[in-house]
Amino acid sequence: MPSEHRVIVFTSEEAIDAIARFSKMLDTPLFRGKPTELHVRKNPQVRAILEVEKRGSEEIETIDLSSSHLAAALINFCREIRIPLPKNAKKELDVSGEQLVLRLKVGEPSKAAIDDVGLAN
């Protein structure tokens, strides 16, 4: 069976948009206000701090987002903007600098292919 490995990289602005869209879908939104900055980190799991300007004031609130919230937001965002995601793909969240990375893997390539193509993390 063929294997597929894909990497989708999200800018900070795209990730903020994805989180905002996802938040609006929830019964209890993750935040109220205007998201302004996103700070991502991996230690050992991916987490993010979202800075939100509260409505009617210049006060900034910070929201700590887990990897599960981030992954759900990015997957939902991909669906909304019509980036196809294989349903059976193993999905992993990662960080590259200040960008969120969604890794998708279907099947398992041979060791030789991993070495030749540089698929190792």
Q: pLDDT by residue (tens digit) across 36-82?
A: 999 999 989 999 999 999 887 889 999 999 999 999 999 999 999 99
| Gap between the Cα atoms of 104 and 106, Å rounded | 7
Helix-, strand-, coil-residue percentages of the chain, each rounded to 5: 30, 35, 35
Give CA separation, 97 vs 43, 72, 94, 109, 113, in Å. 13, 20, 10, 27, 27
- Looking at the chain, the whole-number percentage of residues with pLDDT higher than 70 is 90
Q: Return the SS3 of 59.
A: coil
Residues 92-104 have pLDDT tens digits of 999 999 999 999 9
Any idea where the domains of the chain sit in the sequence?
Answer: 4-117
Q: Which residues contact 20 (CB under 8 A, 6 or more apart)?
A: 35
Q: Which of 15, 38, 106, 55 lies closest to 119, judged by CA?
A: 106
Tens-place pLDDT, residues 8-40: 999 999 999 999 999 999 998 888 889 999 999
Contact 100, 78 (CB under 8 A): no
How many whole angstroms separate alpha carbon 34 and alpha carbon 62? 11
Residues whose CB is less than 8 angstroms from the CB of residue 105 and which lie 6 or more positions away in sequence, other chains included: 3, 4, 5, 6, 89, 90, 92
